[in-house]
Amino acid sequence: MILSIIFMCLMISVIARLIIFAVGATWGILKIAGYIIFTPLALVVLFFTGLAKIAFILLVIYAIASIFSTKGLGFGNR
């Protein structure tokens, strides 16, 4: 139960940061769809097909990468 709650909180955080990153960048529509739709969808599918440990590890990696990624948040090159 606690793993599910932690997963949901991190998932919301990652999705929010990916949306900010995707909108701030000037990429094509397929790259934006890949970051906003396919990555979270792949994590949810992994989680609900019984591969929660793998999905949780990938989600933590994405969360750490999105925390340290400052390119799309307006903090870089000041």
Query: pLDDT digit string (tens) for 3-27?
Result: 888 888 888 888 888 887 777 666 6
Which tokens belong to 60? 């933590």
Whole-model pTM?
Answer: 0.48
Q: Say if residues 59 and 51 touch (Cβ distance below 8 Å).
A: no
What residue segments make up the domains of the chain, in order of their start? Answer: 2-66
φ, ψ of residue 75 to 5 degrees: the values are -100, -10
Q: How far apart are CA 64 and CA 49, in angstroms?
A: 24
Query: pLDDT digit string (tens) for 25-50?
Result: 666 677 767 777 888 888 888 888 88
- For the chain, the first-to-last Cα distance in angstroms comes to 43
